[in-house]
Amino acid sequence: MKKVLSAILAASLITTLFAACGTENKSGDSHTLYFRDASKSKEAVATFFNSDTGESTEVKMERGSEDDEAVTFTCEGNTSEYNMAYITYDSISTDKFAFNKCTSGWYNSDHGFLPYTYGREINYRDSYDDVTLTCNGYDKTAHIWTPDDYDPKSDEKYLTVYLLDGTSMVFLGFDGMQLTDSELANEQVRAMTSVTGKKAIIVAVETFGDNNNYTRDDELIPDLGKMAHQEGTSKKNAKQTADFIGNTLIPYVQEHYNVYADAEHTSIAGTSLGGLGAFYITMEIPDKIGTAGALSPSFWTYDDKAWKSFLSEKTLDKTAPFVYIYTGGKNDTGKEAREMYERLKDMGYPQEKLAFHYNENGGHSVPFWRAIFPEFLEAAMFGHVDVLQK
């Protein structure tokens, strides 16, 4: 009997060890994470964690294929329990990044820590269709990215992701611009498609004015009355930008590309003033845009009274667009972003249409926005952020 009990205990211990060091979860919420490492480390450990509760788990990654440039590690994580991760190799920890069903892999490359699509030859220099249309009396260009296998005649249509400050959110290869200067949204959408099957195109909109009469501040700040901190010099033309996107750009894209023509399959995102613009534009044209991604949004531009006055005239029932808000706590817009989240809830905004992610250690810069972008994609593609909306 003692031998039998000892065998059972030993088997139980072995099972526990394998669970801790191998694939962490085998349920329907188990998702594969790939880590491509140019330093060719001998081992790597993934730490998955929940940004709300702080709960975490460590998983030893399996060392897989190796080529001239890097070695690839892999492991499984539970997307219903954890929404963030980082990887430790050679006593070095990577940036923290969003982990969900839209994530494929991350690459510790010679250029920096970058998203990548497992199984595809790595090449961050994509091609774009450049379209110039008239906005507020001047030319505005949008850079349109389509997937490698884009089929303009397929029965299956594509979702559309609009990006403000688009020239930085995708990598266009401009002189002096590094890969790490971009959110690499094009590669992130490609990675998302590889693991979810959701197909999308990107419309990266230039929002820096006309280099003459209008600036970025003019295009992205709305006119809600007197600004909260300083009036500044902004012409507050975000309404014209919303009109351009809703009445000119979206109709053009829907006419010339094989995309859905409804708000549910259309999203917009931006960072900083672009995050403010994405939120405002979505509230202005909710019949055309169904998801807003406001990353470190500049909600500080107006006070509570001005925002409540604006929102009181908008759609706040169950037909309202999905709003995803991310912000950091270090020199970022955390205070005002949280206030907006609480304001929307207090005004009766449907909870199932709201997701808020606060990163206490997050800053107001591209590395944080690039790392969290897959979480916006989860909101845009699925209308829900699993961990944040439990």
Q: What is residue 330's predicted lDDT score, i.e. its pLDDT? A: 86
Tokens of 375: 């979480």
Position 94 pLDDT exceeds 70: yes
Tokens of 339: 């206030």
Q: What is the mean pLDDT of the chain?
A: 93
**Looking up tokens 């211990």, which residue turns up?**
13
Give the model confidence (pLDDT) of 299-325 as tens digits. Answer: 999 999 999 999 999 999 999 999 999
CA distances to 41, 248, 260, 270, 355 from 265, in Å: 41, 18, 6, 17, 18
- Which of 66, 65, 81, 72 lies closest to 31, judged by CA? 81
Looking at residue 20, its pLDDT comes to 39
Q: What is the dihedral of CA 135, 141, 145, 150, to 10 degrees?
A: 70
Instruction: Please write the tens of the pLDDT for every residue from 45-62.
Output: 999 999 999 999 999 999
Predicted confidence (pLDDT) per residue in 248-282, tens digit: 999 999 999 999 999 999 999 999 999 999 999 99
CA-closest candidate to residue 25, choices 1, 2, 59, 69: 59
Of the chain, the percentage scoring pLDDT greater than 90 comes to 90
At residue 229 the predicted structure's pLDDT band, cuts being 50, 70 and 90, is: confident
Question: Does the reported pTM lie above 0.75?
Answer: yes
Burial of 30 (0-12, 13-18, 19+ CB in 10 A): middle
Encode pLDDT of 317-346 as tens digits: 999 999 999 999 989 999 999 999 999 999
